[in-house]
Amino acid sequence: MDLSRLDHLDAEGLREYVEFLLWHYRVMDSFWFIKVAERYGQPVAEAVNEEVWGRISGMAAGDLVRRFRIEKVGLAGFAEALRLFPWTLLVGYQIEETDDEITVTVPVCVTQEARRTRGLGEYACRDMHRLEFEGLAHAIEPRILVHCDVAPPDDRPPGLDCRWRFTLSAAEELPE
């Protein structure tokens, strides 16, 4: 990877480039999913997406820990990594943190909103996000439990696409 091509950019230019990269990251992910669903059907696209996100989120967590020197463990370490996770920036996760729990709320998911606007119907993303969040959380702290309060395909109140809670298992054994 040759990053020297970015040496001429100032802080604002680098920020704009990060925005550009994140936007294309989301667009690529969206088109990948849409094309797999068109070719092989929605259930296959959802299953492949679950497998991919279950794997790469843990990889991302490890990379975030190394690159940004995250030394905290438990829920605090998870919160620190989660705030740097690209999808937190892309989707706009609202993160609330207490000593005992982290809550992630998404009032309007950009992906679901784009699908609704284009008449594609919602994507049943709950299982994919469970695997994504478990991969991210368990790479930081294996005892973190992931709880879904609500996510597609669940019925949800207006103004809430999903809400997730993360707690630390009191047991010495690791969650399955």
CATH class of 9-168: alpha beta
pLDDT band at 79 (very low <50, low <70, confident <90, very high): very high
Residues whose CB is less than 8 angstroms from the CB of residue 159 and which lie 6 or more positions away in sequence, other chains included: 107, 108
Average pLDDT in the chain: 92
Residue 171: is its pLDDT beyond 70? no
What was the pLDDT predicted at 111? 87
- CA angle, 161 as apex, 159 and 163 as ends, to 5°? 105
3-state SS record for 124-169 = CCHHHHHHHHHHHHHHHCCCEEEEEEECCCCCCCCCCCEEEEEEEC
Q: What is the mean pLDDT of residues 120-124?
A: 86
Residue 149 pLDDT more than 90?
yes
Residues 140-150, mean pLDDT to the nearest whole number? 96
Residue 15: predicted pLDDT: 96
138 vs 133: CA distance, rounded Å: 8
What tens digit of pLDDT does each residue of 31-59 get? 999 999 999 999 999 999 999 999 999 99
Residue 83 in this model has a pLDDT that exceeds 90: yes
Q: What pLDDT is attached to residue 123?
A: 87
Least confident of 57-66, 98-107, 163-172: 163-172
Check if the beta carbon of residue 113 is closer than 8 Å to that of residue 34.
no
Give the predicted TM-score (pTM) of the model.
0.88
Question: What are the start-end ranges of the H helices in the chain?
Answer: 11-40, 42-67, 74-84, 86-91, 110-117, 126-140
Question: Given this model, what pLDDT does residue 122 score?
Answer: 86
